[in-house]
Structure 1
Amino acid sequence: MLAPWVRELTPRDRHAVTRSVLPQAKVAEFATRIGVGPCGWAVELGRAMAEHITDEVPYLAIDGIVQELHKGCEAVALGTVAALHDEQDLVVADVPEVLLGPAEVVSRGVGV
């Protein structure tokens, strides 16, 4: 059962869902499952998380890494809202995009 406060989440940008960096099929699946409003809110939260991280750790703003960081942050936000919707724990295996950013950092040898 969707918690009432989760159902009321709405993005500032009504087109936030379409601006997601995740595959549109995956975002559409989340939107169907949890609603467009909470999905858009999670996409915006993911974007804000990624921007905060790159502000704090500028080394991660490298092309290639920053894209994967954005995907991972959005995946975490969407997965968390979906877990709240389903009243379940977040399972990283359900959102493998979370691991892409760290893998890209390691593959490039970027020290943090």
Structure 2
Amino acid sequence: MNHKEGHLGKFRRFPLGMLAFIFTLKVLSEKPTHGYQLAEEISKKLGKEVPRPMIYNILKHLEERGFATSKWEFGESGPARKIYYITEEGQEALKRKIERIRKFKELLEKILE
């Protein structure tokens, strides 16, 4: 396991936080986005409201670990928005997490047989 993945902190302890963490990487792998839009998309995918502070904490964590980067976007109307991008390291971490989920799913299916 990559040492950076081992430091999920509070996100590892709570199912919603861990799911939001993985979904954040997944959404960023599909397209760069800003925090508010990310929170909306993740809440929709999970079928449960995800607190925005949790999403911003996850984004901060992803940047600290090198899994994401950001830059400010200044539009002609409205406030500036911080746009988040997944890094190559983040893409690799997402692939590893998805593979672990697939293996776990196989085990769960055996239990449910």
Q: TM-score range by the shorter chain?
A: under 0.3
Question: What is the TM-score normalised by the length of structure 1?
Answer: 0.27
Question: What is the TM-score normalised by the length of structure 2?
Answer: 0.27
In terms of fraction of residues, the more strand-rich structure is 2
In terms of fraction of residues, the more helix-rich structure is 1
Which has the higher relative contact order, 1 or 2, with Cα contacts under 8 A spaced 6 or more apart? 1
Larger Cα Rg: Structure 1 or Structure 2?
A: 2
